[in-house]
Amino acid sequence: MTTNQMRREAAKRKLENQQKRRAERARRRQRTAMITSVSVVVVVVVAVVLLSTVGLPGGGDDTAAPPADAPTTSAPPAAAGVPESIPTEIAPAPARPTPLPASVTCDYPTGGETASKPVQPPAGGDVSATGTVAVTLETGDGAIPLTLDRALAPCTVNSFENLVRQAYFDGTECHRLTTGAGLQVLQCGDPSGTGAGGPGYTFADEVFPELTYGRGVLAMANAGPNTNGSQFFMVYGDAQLPPQYTAFGTISPEGLQVIDQIANRGQDQSRDATDGAPVQPVTIERALAS
């Protein structure tokens, strides 16, 4: 028979075995928890590394690239002294609403001012008011063919042709270039290059109320009513002017291309933002009439 002592010893051994098994299970749970923790840490580290490197430009540059639609630099400012735009449409050639007689008389009085270059005034009697005169301005930038219209301004054409035939314009610089939206002209005809010179004589305006200006028009510069001399301007774009400047011809399309090239190089803004001397000298090497 089993004694009480034997039953107590058996119960003790059973309890010890249960405690061993509980301790072993606890150790296994601890190892599992440690492995899981290490794995989580590894995953987090890898994720951080990936998030901090993927998508950056330049292989690790720490500056994020801008969105595709965001400008990386500001637009460059418009160049100073050049026209913002030049109209391409050539204006209709000016025409008198009432024709002049076939010939007119012109007056070219000499004043107290000395001519910028020696020249003789033209004859003023029986000046033709019909037909045209072809003149070519040979410049360092190319030829600028002009058509002078006697029916439009006979006294002006007579003077201009006279100056051409005496080589008055040869070797002279065009001293003024305007580039504003309301006035785009290249002005020439002063051998002194100052804008104050002339041929030593003057003549009257040949204007009319309907006169307008635009791309391709050739006209006289002046210092007030009836002060025409040798200075003229070639309209390559806009010219919002009152009818106070004698128009006496037109500029060929090829000549306008040459003037456009000059205008797009710009002016030095010596008068104001839209008015000055050409940044690169423009020289009439020779003027020829035919």
CA 170 to chain centre: 30
**172 and 34 in a common domain:** no
Please count the structural domains in the chain: 2
Give the per-residue pLDDT at 17: 53
**108 and 54 in a common domain:** no
Domain boundary among 23, 49, 72: 72
Q: What integer is the mean pLDDT of 250-259?
A: 98
Task: List Cβ neighbours of 126 (8 Å cut-off, separation of 6 or more).
Answer: 103, 105
Residue 227 located in a structural domain: yes
Show the 3-state SS of 186-245.
EEECCCCCCCCCCCCECECCCCCCCCCCCCCEEEECCCCCCCECCCEEEEEEEECCCCCC
**55 and 184 in a common domain:** no
Q: Write the pLDDT tens digit of every residue in 135-194.
A: 999 999 999 999 999 999 999 999 999 999 999 999 999 999 999 999 999 999 999 999
Q: Write the pLDDT tens digit of every residue in 201-234.
A: 999 999 999 999 999 999 999 999 999 999 999 9
Residue 193 located in a structural domain: yes
**34 and 116 in a common domain:** no
Q: Write the pLDDT tens digit of every residue in 11-55.
A: 445 445 545 555 555 555 555 444 444 343 333 333 333 323 333
Residue 93 located in a structural domain: no
By residue range, what is the domain housing residue 45? 1-72
**120 and 68 in a common domain:** no
**22 and 160 in a common domain:** no
